[in-house]
Amino acid sequence: MIRRTVFSPARTAGVVASVAAVLLFAGCAPTPEPSASPTAQVSAGPTPVPEPALVPDGTAEENLPVFTAVAERVWATDQRGSGRAYVDALVEAGFDRDAMQVTQDQTTVGNPAESLQFSVRWGDEACLVGQVGPSTGQVVATVMPQLAEGRCLVGTMRPIDW
């Protein structure tokens, strides 16, 4: 059995016009100019950006960039929901573990927390405060004034006893 497809004259004209338009426009496309030298296309790549460094005698504002960078590095890993990962990374960057607070990773019924906060008390008046989690979708970091008794966060905190 032979199967034939019959196009109407209008459909055939439409197909021919479409093909002609594609060929016409393809002929109008600019052709790239050859480079003057083969080395002109070689790139050294992006210039590395120096990591911010802790300024032990600096202000909280001066240390916010390193605090934020550390938090962003942890956020980019599969440990993004672990308060311990943020504390450990901040300690590794030179922040004082004894000046830190961190909230619980899980709710009281065992679900992952929608928001995780961590902080570092800086001096006698300021706190570096970070927040991450599904509710923020990214790292949020800021400098806040200290609360009563040198605390940075409100509520019940997870003990940093590891």
Q: Residue holding tokens 């296309």?
A: 41
pLDDT band at 146 (very low <50, low <70, confident <90, very high): very high
* Whole-angstrom distance, CA of residue 57 vs CA of residue 68: 18
User: In this predicted structure, what is the pLDDT of residue 24?
Assistant: 39
pLDDT band at 154 (very low <50, low <70, confident <90, very high): very high
**Is 146 domain-assigned?**
yes
pLDDT, tens only, 81-94: 999 999 999 999 99
**Is 105 domain-assigned?**
yes
Answer whether residue 48 shows pLDDT above 80: no
**Is 65 domain-assigned?**
yes
**Is 30 domain-assigned?**
no
Full residue range of the structural domain in which residue 141 is found: 60-150
**Is 48 domain-assigned?**
no
Structure tokens at 37: 């030298």
Judge whether 108 and 88 are in contact, CB under 8 Å: no
**Is 18 domain-assigned?**
no
* Whole-angstrom distance, CA of residue 147 vs CA of residue 152: 6
pLDDT, tens only, 2-44: 544 454 445 444 444 444 443 334 444 444 444 444 444 555 6
Q: Considering its fold, how many domains does the chain have in total?
A: 1
Q: Residue holding tokens 């960057």?
A: 93
Q: Tell me, what DSSP letter sits at residue 106?
A: B
**Is 38 domain-assigned?**
no
**Is 98 domain-assigned?**
yes
Bridge pairing between strands 126-132 and 116-122: antiparallel
Q: Tell me, what DSSP letter sits at residue 159?
A: P
- Helices in 9-162 by DSSP H: which ranges? 9-28, 60-75, 83-92
